[in-house]
Amino acid sequence: MRLTLEIWRQEAPDEAGRFVTYEMEDVSPHMSFLEMLDVLNERLVDEGEKPVAFEHDCREGICGSCGMLINGKAHGPMRATATCQLHMRHFSDGDHLIIEPWRSAAFPVIKDLVVDRAPFDHIVQSGGYVSVNTGSAPDANTIPIGKERADRAMDAAECIGCGACVAQCPNGAAQLFTAAKVAHLASLPQGQPERYRRVAEMVETMERYFGSCTNYGECEAVCPKEISIDFIADMNRDYLKSKLRGGESG
């Protein structure tokens, strides 16, 4: 099939960017979206131009490296699908696609479609862990954890940290990402001792970088792992409790 791509090109963080149009012929419906961009890049290099920079690695929807807005939608039109898992059979001959980097002040563009998502790491560094040194763990079956509880922790822990939630949010909020990590650990007995200190630290770090949540729900809609927005309510409740406790943990 034939496609017209309008891609955001930006040489460097402090340079102005612009859309550049590329015509694609003979796109196979079995290609992945990123393979279609690979084909474009091969052509650009052959024509003496610079290829479009975009992040990607596993191409299996799990590393969270890839991500772009496709016609204004993070990761494109398919539900629960990261860009690398999106295939061209979901597009039609003659489609016009606008491809942009994640839009968020907290994720500045480095080049073309590559953005800086370091604030996500800072949120986790501020408390997204259980403080247990290697070697001091009891036998793994010492504390039984009911299946429902373990499943719930896993539902939250599936987050791949891609940043689609932030990119789609009109406020550029990172509540879904933060809440997923908070809920993962708060669901488990191992996460209890630091539960309230953790949520306070993580929420406050998040607020340093990102906008506020006003319940648009766009984050959940584009999340490739379908992380539930309910976790945000849980995080808010825990955060409030942490304030009432005056920062006390446990």
Partner 1 sequence: MTLEARVPDGPLAEKWQRHRDRLKLVNPANKRRFDVIVVGSGLAGGSAAATLAELGYRVQCFCFHDSARRAHSIAAQGGINAAKNYQNDGDSVWRLFYDTIKGGDFRSREANVHRLAEVSMAIIDQCVAQGVPFAREYGGTLANRSFGGAQVSRTFYARGQTGQQLLLGAYQALSRQIELGRVTMYPRTEMLDLVVSDGRARGIVTRNLRTGAIETHTADAVVLATGGYSNVFFLSTNAKGCNVTAIWRAYRRGAYFANPCFTQIHPTCIPQSGDYQSKLTLMSESLRNDGRIWVPESADDERPPGDVPKEDRDYYLERKYPAFGNLVPRDIASRAAKEVCDEGRGVGPGGRGVYLDFADAIQRLGRDTIADRYGNLFEMYERITGEDPYEVPMRIYPAPHYTMGGLWVDYDLMSTIPGLFVIGEANFSDHGANRLGASALMQGLADGYFVLPYTIGDYLAQHMGEEPLATDHPAVRETVAEVEKRIGVLLAADGDRTVDSFHRELGALCWEYCGMSRSASGLRKALEEIPALREEYWQRVNVPGSAEELNQALEKAGRVADFFELAELMCRDALDRGESCGTHFREEHQTEKGEALRNDEEYTYVSAWEFQGDEAEPELHREPLEFEAVSPSQRSYE
Q: Distance between CA 81 and CA 88 in Å, rounded?
A: 13
Q: Are 70 and 97 in contact (CB under 8 A)?
A: yes
From 96-104, 124-132, 207-215, 232-240, span contacting partner 1 (CB under 8 A): 124-132
Q: Is residue 25 a contact point for partner 1 (CB under 8 A)?
A: no
Give 47 or 244: the residue with its C-beta nearer to partner 1. 47
Residue with smaller CB distance to partner 1, 36 or 99: 36
Q: What is the dihedral of CA 73, 205, 111, 28, to 10 degrees?
A: -30
Name residue 64's amino acid: G
From 4, 28, 214, 215, residue interacting with partner 1 (rule: CB under 8 A): 28
Q: Which of 71, 171, 190, 236 binds partner 1 (CB under 8 A)?
A: 190
Ranges within 155-174 binding partner 1 (CB under 8 A): 157-158, 160-161
CB of 190 to partner 1, least distance (A): 5
Q: Which of residues 219-238 bind partner 1 (CB under 8 A)?
A: none
| Residue 154 lies near partner 1 (rule: CB under 8 A) | yes
Name 244's Cβ contacts closer than 8 Å, sequence gap at least 6: none
Among 140, 244, 246, 250, binds partner 1 (CB under 8 A): 140
- Number of Cβ atoms within 10 Å of the Cβ of 243: 13
* Residues 29-88 interacting with partner 1 (rule: CB under 8 A): 30-32, 34-36, 38-39, 42, 45-46, 48-51, 53, 55-65, 78, 80-81, 85, 87
Q: Which residues contact 103 (CB under 8 A, 6 or more apart)?
A: 69, 167, 172
Distances (CA, A) of 149 to 156, 159, 189, 217: 11, 17, 10, 24
Judged by beta carbon, residue 103 or residue 181, the one nearer partner 1 is 181
Separation CA 60–CA 57 (nearest Å): 8
CA angle 195, 142, 201 (to 5 degrees): 10
Distance of closest approach, residue 181 Cβ to partner 1, in angstroms? 9
Return the residue of 133, 244, 246, 250 that touches partner 1, per CB under 8 A: 133
In the complex with partner 1, the residue whose CB is nearer, 105 or 215, is: 105
Alpha helices in 9-117 (DSSP H): 33-46
> Is 130 a residue that touches partner 1 (CB under 8 A)?
yes
